[in-house]
């Protein structure tokens, strides 16, 4: 791992938080329906960017530094 990389335990925690963000957004969409207009991009887009980006980055770091 790099000098400033977070430890593996923190990467696993961030991975679970990212999965929770995406699952929580899916649950909200199933419960309330898909938002319309600019709110759709804001709500769904940001959840996918933040949650999905966190998941992708953590998986990349965990695989790269076995």
pLDDT in tens, the chain (66 residues): 678 889 999 999 999 999 999 999 999 989 998 888 888 888 888 889 999 999 999 999 999 987
Contact status, residue 50 vs residue 19, Cβ threshold 8 Å: no
The label of the residue with tokens 């996918």 reads 48
Which tokens belong to 15? Answer: 């991975």
pTM, two decimal places: 0.84
Rounded to the nearest 10°, the torsion over CA 4, 60, 46, 28 is -120
Q: What is the Cα–Cα distance from 33 to 52, expressed in whole angstroms?
A: 20
């Amino acid at each position: 791992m790099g000098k400033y990389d977070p430890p593996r335990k923190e990467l696993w925690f961030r991975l679970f938080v990212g999965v929770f963000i995406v699952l929580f957004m899916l649950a909200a969409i199933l419960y309330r329906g898909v938002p319309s207009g600019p709110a759709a991009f804001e709500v769904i887009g940001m959840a996918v960017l933040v949650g999905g980006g966190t998941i992708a980055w953590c998986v990349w770091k965990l695989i790269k530094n076995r």
